[in-house]
Amino acid sequence: MTALTLEDTQDDDYIAEQVANPPEVRLQATVPAGVLGDRLDAVLARVWPQYSRSRLQGWLREGRVSVDGGLCEDARRRTYAGERLELVPGALPADVAHAAQDMPLRVVFEDDTLIVIDKPAGMVVHPGNGVPDGTLLNALLFHWPELAGVPRAGIVHRLDRDTTGLLVVARTLEAQTDLVRQLQARSVSRRYFAVVTGAVTADGTVDAAIGRHPVQRTRMAVLTAGGKPARTHYSVREGLRDATLVECRLETGRTHQIRVHMAHIGHALLGDEVYAQRNVAERFSRQALHAWRLGLIHPASGTEVGWEVPMPDDMVALVARLESGG
């Protein structure tokens, strides 16, 4: 499996490898039994699974790997059981120091490996342009100070500011790397409720590449060339007055994917000020989108786990109003 890099996912709703290490760290290991001529980069990824294969390949090129005491820069070098490996991890581009802020969080699940949060509307996930603090990351650092030692406080995927629902946070470096790989392998299941304009009469799939809008760079758009593959499955849950409650299942994770895809087929989300026409945007105070179910393979136990949260009160009220013809 080819590992993600930050550049590969800069337009996606999940965050690629962001591991940072003090430059003085030296890791040592022995090539495990049973290895007979395997590529060095593959063996390194097996010995140190907290790092992606692409990151290890980069460190090989930088001369940070030794085999039996000699520097090796060739990722394709054949490796054999019993050889001694040494790795000096390089410091990756790290986040600036973020402040811990006392903000309430709705914790759905917590163990030594994962935290699952039910994110409210209005909360930005990670500091960025124009939003230096007051984010989920700042709150995580307050409630779990040890997350300062995990890149981006363990965040591996995003929800838009006004999208509500489930988001998973890794408590360890190993769990974070594992979850990013699961997102790449599409073994993470994410289901959303959305209220869209018009009558959706049948289930369907939108298979249309998404990329940055060629003119309005703060927006995403369906592109005929240059976009990244994107696929959204949707099913009808309830017909409403001039609207439909649908369930969307993401097969890929592009920024604004559901919002862009549903608008592309003529069913923009109610309240979406970016992708809907004004008369649609004014029908709700935010985009009517809620991540109601999240499923994944637990990084520690290897078992399938999942969580569900009901729609927030404002979306419940919206659906009730549209059921009654309001």
Beta strands in 45-199 (DSSP E): 65-67, 70-71, 78-80, 84-87, 107-110, 114-119, 164-170, 189-197
Q: Residue 315: enclosing H or E segment and its boundaries?
A: helix 313-323
Structure tokens at 110: 């917590």
SS3 314: helix
Report whether 72 contacts 64 (CB < 8 A). no
> Which two structure tokens, joined as six digits, stand for 52?
């992606």
H or E, element range at 307: strand 304-308
Among residues 160, 162, 178, 272, which one is catalytic?
160
Residue 231 β-bridge partners: 207
Determine the Cα angle at 316 with ends 310 and 320, to 5°: 145
Is residue 160 part of the annotated active site? The answer reads yes
Q: Which of 283, 267, 275 is nearest to 319 (CA)?
A: 283
Active site residues: 160
